[in-house]
Amino acid sequence: MPASRSDRLGGSPVPSGDRPSGFFRRVHRSVFRHSLQDTPRNRSLAVFMNFFLHFHPVKVRRRAIMFRQTFYLGGLTAATFLLLIASGMLLMLYYHPSVPRAYADMKDLAYVVPMGLFIRNFHRWAAHAMVALAFLHMLRVFYAGAYRPPREFNWVVGVNLLIGTLLLSYTGYLLPWDQLSYWGVMVGTNILKSVPVVGEKIQFLLLGGKSVGANALIRFYVLHCVFLPLVLTLGIGVHIWRIRKDGGLFLADEARVDGVGSPAGTMEDD
Amino acid sequence: MPGVDPKLVLDPAAVPGPDSVRITVVDEESAHPLLDTTGDEGLTTVPHLVMREIVAFCVLVGAIALLSYLVDAPLRDVANPSKTPNPAKAPWYFLGLQELLHYYPPIISGIVLPGLAVLALMVVPYFDINIHRPAFLSGAHFRRHLAAVWAVGIVLIVGFLVSSAAGPVWPLIGTTLFLLMVISVPLVAGRERGPGRWIATRSLPFWIFTWFVLSAVVLTVIGTFFRGPGWSFVMPWEGGFHV
A with B: how many residue pairs have Cβ under 8 Å apart? 234
Closest by Cβ to A187, choosing from B76, B90, B203: B90
Cβ contact A166–B122 (<8 Å): no
Q: Report pLDDT for A183.
A: 93
- Asked whether residue A265 is assigned to any structural domain, the reply reads no
Domain that holds residue A198: 63-257
The mean per-residue pLDDT over the stretch A245-268 comes to 56
Q: What is the pLDDT of residues B199-214, one digit of tens each?
A: 888 888 889 899 999 9
Are the CB atoms for B82 and A211 separated by under 8 Å? no
Same domain, A122 and A223: yes
Whether the complex's predicted ipTM surpasses the cut of 0.90? no
B116, B226: one domain = yes
Answer whether A149 touches B (CB < 8 Å): yes
Pick from B52, B76, B100: which residue ends a domain?
B76
Both B98 and B142 in one domain: the answer is: yes
Q: Is the residue at B29 inside a domain?
A: no
Residues A93 and A206 placed together within one structural domain of the fold: yes
Q: Which residue of B has its CA nearest to A243?
A: B34
Do the Cβ atoms of B33 and A260 come within 8 Å?
yes
In this structure, are B129 and B53 located in the same domain?
no
Contact state of B69 with A118 under an 8 Å Cβ cutoff = yes
- B112 and B208 co-located in one domain: yes
Same domain, A185 and A138: yes
User: Out of A120, A190, A264, whose CB is closest to B206?
Assistant: A264
pLDDT single digits (tens) A61-119: 888 899 999 999 999 999 999 999 999 999 999 999 999 899 999 999 999 999 999 99
Number of domains within chain A = 2
Q: Are residues B126 and B50 in the same domain?
A: no
Instruction: Specify whether the CB–CB gap between A35 and A19 falls below 8 A.
Output: yes
Q: Which amino acid is at B235?
A: M
Banded pLDDT at A236 (limits 50, 70, 90)? very high
Tell whether the model's pLDDT for residue B131 goes beyond 60: no
Q: Total structural domains in chain B?
A: 2
Query: Out of A159, A180, A191, whose CB is closest to B122?
Result: A159
Q: Do B36 and A61 touch, CB atoms closer than 8 A?
A: yes
Work out the minimum CA distance from B122 to partner chain A, whole angstroms. 5
Asked whether the beta carbons of A268 and A253 are under 8 A apart, the reply is no
If asked whether residues B196 and B143 sit together in one domain, one would say yes
Inter-chain residue contact B132 with A170, CB threshold 8 Å: no
From the CA of A15, how many Å to the nearest CA of chain B?
24
Q: In this complex, do A110 and B132 lie within 8 Å of one another by their Cβ atoms?
A: no
Total residue count of chain A as it appears in this document: 270
For B58-105, how does the pLDDT look when each residue is reduced to its tens digit (9 = 90+)? 999 999 999 999 999 999 999 999 999 988 888 899 999 999 999 999
- Decide if pLDDT at A170 tops 70: yes
> Within a domain: residue B2?
no
φ, ψ at A59 (rounded to 5°): -125, 145
Q: Are residues B120 and B220 in the same domain?
A: yes
Reference B183, options B166, B201, B209; nearest CA is B201
* Model pTM score: 0.85
B-chain residue closest to A162, CA distance? B118
A216 and A109 co-located in one domain: yes
Residue A170 domain-assigned (yes or no): yes
Asked whether residue B38 is domain-assigned, the answer is no
pLDDT digits (tens, 9 = 90+) for A21-64: 788 888 988 998 888 889 999 999 999 899 999 889 898 888 88
Least CA distance to A197: which residue of chain B?
A: B107
Tell me which residue range forms the domain holding B166: 92-238
Coil, helix or strand for A61? strand
